Amino acid sequence: MNFLTEIVAFVVAIGVLVVVHEFGHYSVARLCGVKVLRFSVGFGKPLVQWVNKKTGVEWTIAALPLGGYVKMLDEREVDPESGTRIPDEDLPRAFNRQSVAKRIAIVAAGPIANFVLAIVLFSAVFAGGVTEPAAIVSQPAPDTAAARAGFEGGETVLSMRDAQGGETHPIRSWSDLRWKMLDASFDHRRVVLTAKTREGTFDFPVAVGGITDAGAEQDFMDKLGFAPGGGTLTVAGVEAGSAAQKSGLKPGDTLRAIDGRGIENATNFIDYVKAHGGKPVTLTIERNGKRDAVQIVPDVKRDASTGKDVGRIGAALANQLPTVDVRYGPLESLRLGVNRTWDISLYSLRMFGRMITGEASLKNLSGPVTIADYAGKSARLGATAFISFIALVSISLGVLNLLPIPVLDGGHLLYYLVEAVTGKAVSDRWQLVLQRAGLVCIVALSMIALFNDLARLIRF
């Protein structure tokens, strides 16, 4: 069932993104007076095909749903050896006969449509309201940025500002905190988090390190020592013969502490157990309103993802974090939608640039398998998560297509910008050479992304 959900969610997401992207090209081409011959969703053998009698456009849904294209009338695509030619009355409607400005507008319209879609979707999420974990910090691991800043666990972050001064930004949820920390992380900036504690409200200066050495599967907030807290962790189930059963743990038990350390989320608890395989630890549990101490020795098991021996108690856990309902007005939602789209676009460009220079790992590249996996996961979480996922991938698609790589929209834009500056079009010979080089780049990136997908899937 999960596999089916992933496939359906992936097809829906990619279908929406491709249609929006290609409709951007199509609509601006029509506005510029260019004759459109075909609008195809997918590549390969057509599954469904029909012609609009009014416009003459052939609409196609093809077998391979990993892209699409809009075919426009273009003299360069006519084979002179066959003797075919474009009728004289259609020549003014050929794409290659349009001004540089019109060609730039047509090519740029696809990525721009993806950005507009992301703005609309994010704005809808902000306006409709979303329930998110509260910005409460759990007890950080020793020698992390959070621990060095003075966080002990249980603090509620209220706002953030640069250590050098400037505007103070309110923090409304954990997601809000994460995005603002992500922005600061790229510049290795020092920030000041204002948080409410049991004793009052205090400032916590945090040295936000870079995240570029982290793989796509690793949350940079964990590296900084920040994890959502303030929640309760309960035992949802116990495996027969496991360390949990031998120690007397039962479903419904609330885990309050492990070796005196407060437990506020599943991640910290699991990490602690993994590090104590074969070593006795003391759990403080709450059962029927009473607290008790339980000693347990985690079993030593081989971790399939790392190949290392780790501790495991054999209990299913249920994590309940305190949440807040975040909702904005229409204008504020639109502003936040624009800001979120801009932030993610800038983040994607900077991350790609750092991968090229070697400052960031190529493990950050993801392919269709990972996209399908996250499509399914977000769909199972609900409409809001799935809409946010589509917006995120739409931005990635827009940014990718604007990269100055021949065969992509950005490569064509580069040709036209050169033509606009020099007054001369890039020769067909150079375009052919650059197209081949661009194709090699795209194939190489695709292979790396696919390798990363497989590595995450089979854990090697």
Task: Count the neighbouring beta carbons within 10 Å of the beta carbon of residue 380.
Answer: 14
Is residue 226 within 8 A of residue 155, CB to CB? The reply is no
Task: Count the neighbouring beta carbons within 10 Å of the beta carbon of residue 7.
Answer: 13
Task: State the Cα–Cα distance between residues 90 and 410, nearest whole angstrom.
Answer: 27
In whole angstroms, what separates CA 333 from the centre of its chain?
Answer: 20
Task: State the Cα–Cα distance between residues 83 and 91, nearest whole angstrom.
Answer: 16
Is residue 93 within 8 A of residue 115, CB to CB? The reply is no
22 is catalytic: yes
Burial of 89 (0-12, 13-18, 19+ CB in 10 A): exposed
Task: State the Cα–Cα distance between residues 101 and 416, nearest whole angstrom.
Answer: 8
In whole angstroms, what separates CA 269 from the centre of its chain?
Answer: 26
Catalytic residue among 6, 22, 132, 155: 22
Residue 313 CA: distances (Å) to CA of 114, 229, 242, 251, 275: 46, 22, 6, 13, 12
Question: Burial code of 212-244, b = ≥16 C-beta within 10 A, e = fewer?
Answer: bebeeeeebbbbbbbbbbbbbbbbeebeeebbb
8-state DSSP, 298 = P
Which residues are identified as catalytic? Answer: 22
